[in-house]
Amino acid sequence: MIANRHRGEIAAELDGKPYRLCLTLGALAELEAVYAADDLAALVERFSTGRLSATDIIRVIGAGLRGAGAAISDAEVAAMHAPGGAAGFATLVSDLLSATFGAAGEAGLAGKNL
C-alpha cells in the first residue's frame, strides 16, 4: 500500500493486510469529540505527553483507518494484530501523529514511551 506522507498518510500492516491511515479533518473532528477537546491544539497537547493508553491507541488507529476510507470500527481495531505487538501499534500511532502534526507532534512524541 502506497502512502503519501505529504498528505499525512502512513502505511500499516494489520492482521497481515496492508492499510493506509490518515487523520483527515473528519478523523480529527472525531478524536476531538471523543476526547472533548476544544481544538486541534488541545489534541496535540494530549498526544504530545507520550502517555497513551491502549484505548487511545485503538481510537487513533481507528480514526486513521476511517480517515483513509476503511469501514472499520474501534472494536474491530481492538481485535487486530500488528507486527511487533503492542509496540508495533504504538509505533503506528507515533508515525501517524508525526505525519499529521509534523514538528508539533514529533516534539512531544520523540523518545516517549507510548
Query: 3-state DSSP call for residue 60?
Result: helix
Question: What is d(CA 112, CA 107) in angstroms, rounded to the nearest whole number?
Answer: 10
Per the domain annotation, does 66 fall within a domain?
yes
What is the domain count for the chain? 1
pLDDT at 107 over 70: no
Per the domain annotation, does 31 fall within a domain?
no
* pLDDT tens-digit series, residues 51-106: 889 999 999 999 999 999 999 999 999 999 999 999 999 999 999 999 998 855 44
List, in order, residues 6 or more apart from 74 with CB less than 8 Å away. 58, 59, 62
Per the domain annotation, does 34 fall within a domain?
no
Per the domain annotation, does 69 fall within a domain?
yes
Predicted model pTM:
0.86
* pLDDT tens-digit series, residues 18-43: 999 999 999 999 999 999 999 999 99
Question: What is d(CA 76, CA 15) in angstroms, rounded to the nearest whole number?
Answer: 11
pLDDT at residue number 75: 98
CA dihedral 93, 21, 19, 3 (to 10 degrees): -110
Q: Which domain holds residue 90?
A: 40-105
47 confidence band (pLDDT: 50, 70, 90): confident
Question: What is d(CA 69, CA 33) in angstroms, rounded to the nearest whole number?
Answer: 19
